[in-house]
């Protein structure tokens, strides 16, 4: 199909869509979640960049999948998942012990996170914090790098799959609400609604560095009963998968692989996730990739939409047919 020509100036239709979208987002957030300063800051930045036109407008449109991800996460506060289905606390704990249990010094069986929690070290506390800080910034940085070097097709595929994996994971939270390992250690097997977030094993990083970044992050946790699947384990893996498809230096691929493995280990080491959660997070990553690349992209209407989307965010229309089979 011929490429879609786009103008650098803002059209009336685009302006109306921008205003309507921002009003809808802020209205729903104000009514059901509660406004925070960052909501106004983000809305102002989006409007300013979009109204600037040209490359700034294209960047805003390109980042829409990440914006939808953030809004979706925030909106999970509207209906907590534990109001939809029962919380799994003891069942997943026993399943973890049955599948991956480790014999403790006293002869009992421990879950891997319990075993690692009894064998912590300062250097693992530090490295674990470093790895966990990468879970969102690194995939976003990878996407921006693809965008900046002109690999817009690869960027767009990565961004849409990133969003799709999140939506699959969020659906999993509602289908099967589950408590993280630290919850069992602190509260046992009884469900306590509206439980606040907890840094758990990541506290060691704050003690070493004096930087309380995780305390701030987990104080705004949308829901602590959202451990299955582990999306922490998915994000950098998605970036690694697309680094294999894109034109990337070998060091970047190696770094993404290392960070992925580091996050998987840290998730269990810090008692934020069971091994089961991590494996399901990895599985959701591949599921989202397969659904998109081998399902949605084979549908002509969707492939056409992606072609127009990629043409819109490209400085010069050069986007080729993207529904072609990849080798």
pLDDT in tens, the chain (327 residues): 444 444 456 677 878 888 899 999 999 999 998 888 889 999 999 888 888 888 898 999 999 999 999 999 989 988 989 999 999 999 999 999 999 999 987 778 999 999 999 999 999 999 999 999 999 999 999 999 999 999 999 999 999 999 999 999 999 999 999 999 999 999 999 998 878 888 899 999 989 998 888 887 776 665 789 999 999 999 999 999 999 999 999 999 999 999 999 999 999 999 999 999 999 999 999 999 999 999 999 999 999 999 999 999 987 544 444 444 443
Q: How far is CA 322 from CA 66, 153, 158, in A?
A: 21, 8, 13
The separation between the first and the last C-alpha atoms of the chain, rounded to the nearest angstrom, is 22
Per-residue confidence (pLDDT) for residue 258, from 0 to 100: 98
Measure the CA–CA gap between 230 and 232, rounded to whole angstroms.
5
Q: What is the pLDDT of residue 202?
A: 92
pLDDT of residue 147: 96
Q: Give the three-state DSSP class for 295.
A: coil
- Residue 58: count of CB within 10 angstroms of its CB: 20
CA separation for the pair 201, 36 (Å, rounded): 28
Q: What are phi and psi of 150, to 5 degrees?
A: 90, 10
Determine if the peptide bond prior to 229 is cis (ω within 30°).
Answer: yes
pLDDT at 220: 66
Contact criterion met (CB below 8 Å) for 116 and 203? no
pLDDT score, position 195: 82
Q: What is the pLDDT of residue 324?
A: 43
């Amino acid at each position: 199909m011929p490429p879609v020509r786009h103008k650098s100036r803002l059209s009336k239709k685009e302006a109306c869509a921008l205003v309507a979208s921002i009003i809808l987002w802020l209205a729903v957030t104000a009514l059901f979640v509660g406004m925070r300063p960052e909501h106004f800051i983000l809305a102002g930045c989006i409007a300013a960049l979009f109204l600037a036109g040209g490359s700034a407008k294209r960047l805003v449109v390109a980042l829409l999948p990440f914006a939808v991800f953030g809004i979706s996460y925030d909106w999970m506060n509207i209906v907590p998942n534990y109001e939809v289905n029962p919380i799994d606390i003891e069942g997943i704990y026993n399943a973890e012990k049955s599948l991956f249990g480790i014999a403790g010094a006293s002869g009992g069986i421990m879950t891997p996170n319990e075993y690692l929690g009894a064998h912590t070290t300062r250097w693992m506390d530090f490295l674990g914090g470093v790895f966990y800080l990468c879970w969102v910034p690194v995939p976003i940085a990878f996407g921006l790098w693809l965008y900046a070097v002109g690999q817009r097709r690869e960027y767009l595929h990565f961004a849409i799959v990133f969003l799709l994996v999140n939506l699959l994971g969020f659906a999993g939270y509602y289908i099967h609400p589950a408590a993280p390992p630290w919850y069992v250690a602190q509260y046992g097997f009884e469900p306590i609604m509206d439980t606040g977030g907890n840094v758990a094993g990541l506290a060691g990083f704050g003690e070493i560095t004096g930087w309380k970044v995780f305390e701030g992050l987990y104080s705004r946790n949308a829901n602590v009963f959202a451990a299955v699947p582990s999306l922490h384990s998915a994000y950098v893996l998605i970036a690694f998968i697309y680094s294999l498809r894109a034109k990337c230096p070998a060091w970047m691929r190696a770094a993404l692989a290392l960070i992925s493995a580091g996050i998987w280990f840290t998730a269990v080491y810090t008692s934020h996730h069971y091994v089961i959660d991590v494996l399901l997070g990895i599985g959701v990553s591949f599921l989202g990739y397969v659904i998109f690349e081998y399902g949605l992209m084979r549908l002509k209407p969707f492939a056409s939409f992606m072609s127009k989307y990629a043409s819109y965010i490209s400085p010069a229309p050069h986007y080729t047919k993207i529904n072609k089979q990849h080798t």
